[in-house]
Structure 1
Amino acid sequence: MPHRPLSLHAPRGSIAAEELRAGIDALLADHEGGVPLEFPAQVLAAAEAAAERSHSAPGRADRTDVPFVTLDPDSSTDLDQAMHLARTEAGFRVLYAIADVPSFVALDGPIDHEARRRGETLYLPDRRIPLHPEVLSEGAASLLPQQITPAFVWVLDLDESGEVVGIDLERALVRSVAKLAYDQVQEELDRGEGHPMMLLLQEIGALRTALESRRGGASLNVPEQEVVAEDGAVHLTWRRPHPIEDANAQLSLMTGMAAAQLMLEHGAGILRTMPPAEPAAVDRFRRQSEALGAPWPADQRYGDFLRSLDWRDPVHLALLNQATSLFRGASYAAFTRAEELPEDVEQSAIAAPYAHTTAPLRRLVDRFVLLVCHAHARGERPAPELLAALGEIPEAMQSTGVRAGNLERAALELVETAALAAWVGETMEATVIERREASGDGNGDGAPTRVEIQLSEPPVTAWVPMDAAPGERVRVRLDSVEPRARFVPADGAEPA
């Protein structure tokens, strides 16, 4: 599953932060032909007009009396989701409000065309390049506290085990009463306190995780990286997501599964798909687990096995890295009638049909999924112009996703180089997470045997020309950081 991007934590005026921003500026200049940095004047004008327009409409429900809350990182202002959770006699009722971006973005209008060019909000260590103008994404369309905002509201009824037994979707006006932040919420829960809604979220999240386990779903239990800039130095640190973040993610996954169910039942929509892991990849991963001394039990689902791994254990860290081979081939499948469905409609990591539907401020495809699902929920055929557009969205998401991935990787390399500058000449311990055999004709031509290593401090990965087995601890020396970080075996270690 994808990880959150790096984020920069730095005081204003920090020397290191300014140097990092200058480096990102240069990187964007090199990629400028493919990365839209500024919004065209007509797009900004259309966004300003949309922000000022009244979004009350016949048929739109009034849910402003429902005390929705949002849960995000403390600094977030592009708030896609708000929730209201309640216990019922049969189980639970989840009202999940999603920003009604289509209310502000006319199909085939200037904002729509620009969003298709961008595809998604691009996150870099020191900035984000938004999908929509900020007057919408961080203003009128965002589910900010105490603001009356149009939203799609998923009404999901759950039984006592957390299974969804009822699905509805309406367009409404909503008002969030509180913007909750992950760190503070988790601190309160750890003290045995907390917002009543967060206590319910914790309970529902645990039930949904248990259901995920039973159906064979999986996720990679790995930490995130954060960038900290202090005066003249840039540091990378580990950040482990809080348990309440996992519970919140389960709410989003549940909604995406409900959206997929609606679209499959009614024969039109866009699914997020991922093929099952190739048997050869599964067999290889099982052999790797045995070779590393942490065998995958034959009677255990691979999702449960991955959940049992702890990244702080060097062997487990190597296995988690190798497990990425089981999560490949994700794409989008658009269909306007049942005959167009792909052979396998599941997202294999989730082990169920799934659709992106909960982040329309930040991802293009969600806007179209919401519109299609709303038509299905009302018993209507989606509008012809909407159906005609569906086929174009997978390609837009694919092409912009590749561009974003390339730029984010380049930014990460820049940050890692800056973070390592103070370590040149130092010897460090690392864990081998992958090994690649030498290539060539045996006469010195081609690439030597090399290993990918994961450092614990600072938390970066790198390739080193040496030979060692995955899971093995090795000593390496940082030889230079120009033009990029170069590691060599430390004294006493044998290079390849």
Structure 2
Amino acid sequence: MRAVDDPGRGGRDGHRRAGAAIADSIRGPLRAGVSADAEAGRLHPSIAALPAFGELRQSVAMDRGAVELDLPDQQVSRTEAGWRLDLEPHTPADMWNSQLSLLAGMCAGTIMAEAGIGLLRTLPPADPEAVEDLRAAAKALGVEWPEGVAVGRFLAGLPGDRPSTLAIQSAASGLMRGANYLALDGTDEARAVPDDKKRHGAIAGLYAHVTAPLRRLGDRFATEVCLAVTAGDEVPDWVTRALPTLPKILRSADTLGATADRASIDLAEAVILGDRVGERFDAVVTSAATDRKPAQIFIADPPVVAGCEGELRPGTRLDVELATADEVTRTVRFRAV
């Protein structure tokens, strides 16, 4: 990225419509079709360059040391034998769309950091111990991680249709500890904030959320800042007044959203495993216990990441017994045997 510009408020509606059209065209059930169209060379002209763009942006991201998590979806379906849990890997179109959003966020982060006003998404560099735990988990799962290959490039090369990828990508979430928001209020003090405090470690650069103003509160304000700054206008008062209050609100919303996501997954896993209490499984420890949750383990069939009792070391392979699968409390727990 060499320069950032915006056509200003006069082009706002048209560009929003164009962005929405691109995003909508590669979202949901259509994404596999878009990937197939790209492979067959019949993409619509408006997004014909998207595959090359996405591949190039991902390559550039790996070169600068970025880390991109890509957890495969878990799909619950009913069969004659009962409920089944399968992995639904993301398509190439998902990656292209992600790269488009990431670039927009990097541009927005640059605009606001240089202006000293706005809302940045920040993340400290990954803890070396978290990287070593991830290496241990990969080794235990039988997934080769060649020496000298950076963590981001290793994760990007994992096949999305393998259960081990779910385990490794889940374990890699430990690299994202410390994610936060930084509000810049336009003062000299805001402009003087050290660069390392403004950066997003996984992106390996400046970053902000701006691509989903309808579903993310912070995007609405960050987008207005970028539009005002690039047009040479004053940032609206309603935006500047809100900026200092947003980090706390957004942290709370992130926590609530993560809790809801986890509860949904826990319920699905409890239903799937409900009639298998007492059975034994081969497992790999993906993360150690913390003050708030037990150690996490991965079993391949069905593909589940769940809590396990005991002081367990990441990367350890062990036999576990399903102790609890309660759909009422949405609880799945294993114990080492």
Equivalent residue letter for 1:470: G
Cross-structure match for 1:339: 189
Gaps of 5+ in 1: 1-162, 440-446, 490-494
User: Given the superposition, is the C-alpha separation of residues 164 and 232 from structure 1 closer, same or farther in structure 2, using an over 3 Å criterion?
Assistant: farther
In 1: Cα distance, 2:314 partner to 2:158 partner:
19
**TM superposition shift of 1:383:** 2.7
In 1: Cα distance, 2:280 partner to 2:160 partner:
18
**TM superposition shift of 1:400:** 2.1
In 2: Cα distance, 1:264 partner to 1:212 partner:
20
Percent sequence identity is 31
Asked whether 1:269 is paired with 2:118, we answer: yes
Q: Give yes or no for contact 1:479–1:488 (8 Å, CA) kept in 2.
A: no
User: Given the superposition, is the C-alpha separation of residues 190 and 474 from structure 1 closer, same or farther in structure 2, using an over 3 Å criterion?
Assistant: farther
User: Given the superposition, is the C-alpha separation of residues 391 and 473 from structure 1 closer, same or farther in structure 2, using an over 3 Å criterion?
Assistant: same
Q: Please, which of 159, 169, 188 is the counterpart of residue 37 of structure 2?
A: 188
Q: Per residue, is there more strand in 1 or in 2? A: 1
**TM superposition shift of 1:306:** 2.1
In 2: Cα distance, 1:479 partner to 1:374 partner:
52
User: Given the superposition, is the C-alpha separation of residues 291 and 405 from structure 1 closer, same or farther in structure 2, using an over 3 Å criterion?
Assistant: closer
Equivalence map 1:280-319=2 (5 Å): 280-286=129-135, 296-297=145-146, 299-310=148-159, 318-319=167-168
User: Given the superposition, is the C-alpha separation of residues 263 and 425 from structure 1 closer, same or farther in structure 2, using an over 3 Å criterion?
Assistant: closer
**TM superposition shift of 1:229:** 5.4
In 2: Cα distance, 1:286 partner to 1:481 partner:
32
TM-score, structure 1 normalization: 0.56
Asked whether 1:227 is paired with 2:76, we answer: yes
In 1: Cα distance, 2:39 partner to 2:58 partner:
19
Equivalence map 1:463-478=2 (5 Å): 463-465=307-309, 470=315, 472=317, 474=319, 476-477=321-322
Cross-structure match for 1:433: 285
Q: Secondary structure at the match of 1:238?
A: strand
Q: Secondary structure at the match of 2:315?
A: coil
Gaps of 5+ in 2: none
Q: Give yes or no for contact 1:292–1:471 (8 Å, CA) kept in 2.
A: no
- 1:59-96: per-residue Cα shift (whole Å, max 9, x none)? xxxxxxxxxxxxxxxxxxxxxxxxxxxxxxxxxxxxxx
Cross-structure match for 1:159: none
Superposition RMSD in Å = 3.5
Cross-structure match for 1:147: none
In 2: Cα distance, 1:239 partner to 1:463 partner:
22
Q: Secondary structure at the match of 1:414?
A: helix
Cross-structure match for 1:87: none
**TM superposition shift of 1:168:** 1.1
Q: Give yes or no for contact 2:110–2:206 (8 Å, CA) kept in 1.
A: yes
Asked whether 1:394 is paired with 2:232, we answer: no
- 1:176-220: per-residue Cα shift (whole Å, max 9, x none)? 678522122122223343323343111111111111111111112
In 1: Cα distance, 2:80 partner to 2:219 partner:
40
Asked whether 1:380 is paired with 2:233, we answer: yes
Aligned length: 318
Cross-structure match for 1:146: none
Q: Secondary structure at the match of 1:300?
A: coil
Q: Secondary structure at the match of 2:13?
A: strand
Equivalent residue letter for 1:461: V
Equivalence map 1:139-158=2 (5 Å): none
TM-score, structure 2 normalization: 0.79
Equivalent residue letter for 1:485: V
The answer to which structure, 1 or 2, has the higher relative contact order (CA under 8 A, 6+ apart) is: 2
In 2: Cα distance, 1:202 partner to 1:221 partner:
17
**TM superposition shift of 1:438:** 12
